[in-house]
């Protein structure tokens, strides 16, 4: 006891030193590590923001033209869609084949078909494709007119498959043509049914 009483100040100093060391290694170092981690994250965020600011500054001179350019692109997209039907129901397919008959100069046999998705576009619309196979028999001029029509028609159509057989006895060609008709499934346009004129039935009374 006399020894402790004589050196109590030394024991108190040692106890304080041990406590300070404990606080340093268990509290300060942990806080320091957390601070350094947060500082590194903030530095990375700041570097990223600075890079974005520099990238945006490159286009300051064209910001005023951006709205007009966006409008032109949108208008061009809608103009392009005008060349594609929204849908081809059975009545549309009949009208299309009837028109081909006038070009071929012959009656055409065909089967109805349904469109399928070819590709989804960025604006959410779908590029659709409808295969329409027709059986024909026509002369050389009719076949040339059909080829010319398919090459110049505003409707986007491609020849998917074809067979051609020439009959020397009748001087006609016959075969099958499978056409791939493209459609746009989009909410920007509405389906419009084909304009079918009512056939003339003549007079109700032959004496009028």
Instruction: Assess contact for 134 and 110: CB atoms under 8 A.
Output: yes
CA distance 21 to 25: 6
Indicate the pTM of the whole model: 0.58
pLDDT at position 128, please? 92
Report pLDDT digits (tens) over 130-186. 998 988 888 888 888 888 888 887 777 888 888 889 888 888 888 888 989 999 998
pLDDT-derived band at 14, boundaries 50, 70, 90: low
For the cut 60, the answer to whether the pLDDT of residue 1 exceeds it is no
pLDDT-derived band at 206, boundaries 50, 70, 90: very low
pLDDT at position 207, please? 46
Q: How many CB atoms lie within 10 A of CB 47?
A: 10
CATH architecture observed for domain 90-185? 2-Layer Sandwich (3.30)
Rounded (10°) CA dihedral 87, 178, 100, 88: -10
Instruction: Assess contact for 137 and 150: CB atoms under 8 A.
Output: no
pLDDT-derived band at 124, boundaries 50, 70, 90: confident
Report pLDDT digits (tens) over 188-203. 888 877 776 654 555 5
Residue whose C-alpha is closest to residue 155's, from 174, 134, 129, 177: 129
- Domain ranges in the chain are 2-57, 90-185
Report which of residues 8 and 88 the model is more confident about. Answer: 88
pLDDT at position 107, please? 83
Residue whose C-alpha is closest to residue 98's, from 109, 114, 82, 113: 109
Phi/psi of residue 114, each to 5°? -120, 150
pLDDT-derived band at 9, boundaries 50, 70, 90: low
Mean pLDDT of 99-112: 84
Mean pLDDT of 68-88: 82
**Residue 68 class from Cβ within 10 Å (0-12 exposed, 13-18 middle, 19+ buried)?**
exposed
Report pLDDT digits (tens) over 31-63. 667 777 777 888 888 888 888 877 777 766 777
């Amino acid at each position: 006891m006399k020894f402790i009483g004589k050196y109590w100040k030394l024991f108190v100093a040692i106890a304080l030193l041990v406590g300070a060391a404990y606080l340093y290694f268990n509290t300060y170092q942990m806080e320091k590590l957390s601070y350094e981690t947060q500082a590194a994250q903030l530095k990375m965020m700041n570097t990223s923001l600075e890079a974005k600011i520099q990238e945006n500054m490159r286009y300051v001179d064209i910001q005023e033209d951006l709205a007009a350019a966006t409008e032109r692109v949108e208008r061009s997209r809608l103009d392009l869609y005008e060349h594609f039907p929204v849908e081809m129901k059975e009545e549309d397919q009949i009208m299309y084949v009837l028109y081909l008959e006038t070009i071929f100069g012959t009656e055409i046999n065909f089967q109805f078909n349904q469109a399928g998705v070819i590709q989804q576009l960025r604006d959410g619309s779908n590029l659709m494709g409808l295969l329409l196979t027709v059986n024909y028999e026509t002369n050389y001029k009719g076949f040339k007119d059909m080829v010319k029509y398919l090459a110049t028609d505003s409707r986007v159509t491609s020849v998917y498959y074809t067979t051609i057989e020439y009959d020397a006895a009748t001087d006609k060609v016959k075969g099958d043509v499978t056409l791939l008709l493209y459609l746009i499934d989009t909410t920007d346009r509405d389906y419009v049914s084909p304009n079918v004129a009512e056939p003339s039935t003549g007079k109700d009374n032959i004496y009028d």
